[in-house]
A and B are shown apart, each in its own frame.
Chain A
Amino acid sequence: MNSFSQIAASSEDCIYDKIQLILPNKPEYVSVARLTASAIANRVGFNIEDIEDIKVAIAEACTNAILHGCTECENSFVIDFKVEPGNIEITVKDKGKGMQVDKLKKPDLSNPKEGGLGVFIIKSLMDEVELKSNEGRGTVLTMRKSVTEEE
């Protein structure tokens, strides 16, 4: 169940809080995305394990944007956070080369490779992941996670 789309459908008003981060296409700034995501996730009410998952997921998305997305003319990428109590939605958007989403393969353990783990890891750590990409026009990765009620 995606509460954000319900909100969007029921009202144009912004019930959730929006935070935007524009980062340069440089590896040294991925830690800034992690720290920001960690602080926001803490505010949303996630436990330490979930915050660790969100940190890895956003870093994977940023790494992909930097290594595969950004081009020389587009030297930055955008991270949008939508936040409401118990829910976080993170969108990482680049205007780079794009990719063929259907060509993504599951990691093959009999022949482990250095790359290709990022999206697989994001899908394992987050509740919902949407990956949209147009070759030549960039990639948008949206991921959501909700706080699980602990007994």
Chain B
Amino acid sequence: MAFNVECTKNEAQGNWYVKVEGEVDVYTAPKLKEKLLDPIEKEKTDLVVDMHDLVYIDSTGLGVFIGVLRRVKEYNGNIVLKGPRDNVKRLLEITGLNKIFIVEE
């Protein structure tokens, strides 16, 4: 599955819905960062990240989410990580990041 990020405004819930697909590593992480920062520059709302089709992530991608969370926290927003696969969930647990982000099924 090729790396892809789609961002849409969820008008009903007043947040950004970001669908991340494929693999996030040292090569694709900078593109992910750009795609996550772009919407919150426009409108400072919560970010809901759909991880169902995120098949791989490592510290480079987790680092991007940590950096973006810092920005979001500046305006008291939240990042919700939705539906991470088992391998992604495992990394969130190992690093303790599951306690910093809101992780939902």
Which residue numbers of A lie inside 8 Å of B, CB to CB? Answer: 27-28, 30-31, 34, 49, 52-53, 55-56, 59-60, 62-63, 66-67, 107, 109, 112-115, 117-118, 120-121, 124-125
Q: Which residues of A contact B67 (CB under 8 A)?
A: 114
Whether A121 pairs with B58 at a CB distance below 8 angstroms is: yes
Whether B63 pairs with A117 at a CB distance below 8 angstroms is: yes
Which residue numbers of B lie inside 8 Å of A, CB to CB? Answer: 23, 25-27, 56, 58-60, 62-64, 66-67, 69, 86-87, 90-91, 94-97, 99-100
Q: Which residues of A contact B62 (CB under 8 A)?
A: 117
**What total of A-B pairs shows CB separation below 8 Å?**
67
For the residues of B in contact with A, the DSSP-based class is helix
Whether A59 pairs with B25 at a CB distance below 8 angstroms is: yes
C-alpha spacing A59/B62, complex, angstroms: 13
Given A27-B25, A63-B26, A63-B59: 12 more A-B contacts, CB < 8 Å: A28-B27, A30-B25, A30-B26, A52-B90, A55-B56, A56-B87, A59-B25, A60-B58, A67-B26, A107-B96, A115-B63, A121-B95
